[in-house]
Amino acid sequence: MADTDAHKDVVRDEPTKSRRTALVLGGGGLAGIGWEVGILHGLAEAGADPTGADLIVGTSAGSVVGAQLTSGLLTLPELYERQLADPEGEVPAGMGPTVLARYLWGVLRSRDAEAYGARMGRLALSTRTEPEEVRRAVFAARLLTHDWPRARRLVVTAVDALTGEFRAFDEESGVPLLDAVGASCAVPGVWPPVTIGGRRFIDGGVRSSTNADLAVGYDTVVIVAPISVGGGPVPSARVQVARLTAAGAHVVLITPDRAARRAFGRNVLDPSRRAPSARAGRAQAVAHAQAVRAVLPG
C-alpha cells in the first residue's frame, strides 16, 4: 500500500478566515469506511473537525462516509459507534489473483484514464456477480438518508463502464443519491455496475483513489485517503496534492499509518476489518490534529 512515511501530513502555508474549504474522502473498501470515520471522529475530539467543509468529495468508500456525514442524522461519535457494531447485511468479498492481474494489465496497457476506465468497465460488465438490485438493497440500508444534502455540496464520483468517462454526481445531476453512491462503490470484478439513466457505472476509484482535483479552486483541502498510491494513468494522492498546492491551495493529506495498515489486513472488502480500522483511525488522528487545525479557517 503506502510508503512507510505515507501517513505524514503534507501541509502548505497558513489559512485565512475567509477561506473556502473542501474535504476529500477517498476509496478503500469497508476497512476504508471504518478508518475514515475513525480519523474524522478523532480529529473532532482533538479540536480539528474538518467535516463542516463547504465541499465534500466522496469516492467509493468516501462516498458512503460523505453521504453519512452530510445527512445530519447522526453525530460523529454516533457514526463511529456504528462502525464498531456488527456489520449486519454487509457481504464479504475480495479480489482474486485473476482480477488483480487484470487491474495491473489495464494500468500497464492504458494510455490515459478513460482508456483504463473502459478496460475496467469491460471487466465489470463481463464478471458474474450478485444481481444489481441485491447490491442496491445493501446501500439502501448502509445510507442514513437517500436525499442529497441541501446545506453543503456533496460530490460523488463514478466512471462510465462503456466509455471510461469520468462522472461527478451531485444534487443538481438529477441522479438519486443511492444510485450515485452505489455506482461509486461498484468495484470492477467484484460488484455489479450500477445503471443510471440507461448507462452502467463503476467505482470512481478507477479514475483516482481520491479524485482530489475536484477541489481545485478551494483554498483549503483536507484529504483523507485510505489508498494513496497510483500508477500509469491513475494519479497518486500525492500527485494530486502537488497540483492543488500549485494552484494555491493549503492542503493536508492523511493516509494510513502502520497500525492502520495492519488493521486493514489483506482484504479491505472484509466487513470484519471495519471495526479495527475505525479504532486505528481514531488513534492515528491525534498525530494529524495540529496540521489540520493549522489550515482550517478561523
Q: What is the pLDDT of residue 103?
A: 87
- Residue 119 main-chain phi, psi, to 5 deg: -60, -45
Q: What is the pLDDT of residue 4?
A: 33
- State the chain's mean pLDDT as an integer: 92
Contacts of 76 (CB under 8 A, 6+ apart): 37, 40, 41, 44, 49, 51, 69
pLDDT tens-digit map of 59-111: 999 999 999 999 999 999 999 999 999 877 777 888 878 888 888 888 888 99
Q: What is the pLDDT of residue 98?
A: 83
Q: What is the pLDDT of residue 18?
A: 57
**pLDDT surpassing 50 at residue 2:** no
Q: What is the pTM of this model?
A: 0.92
Question: What is the mean predicted confidence (pLDDT) over 29-57?
Answer: 97
| 221 compared with 3, residue with greater pLDDT | 221
Contacts of 216 (CB under 8 A, 6+ apart): 243, 244, 247, 249
Question: What is the mean predicted confidence (pLDDT) over 25-31?
Answer: 97
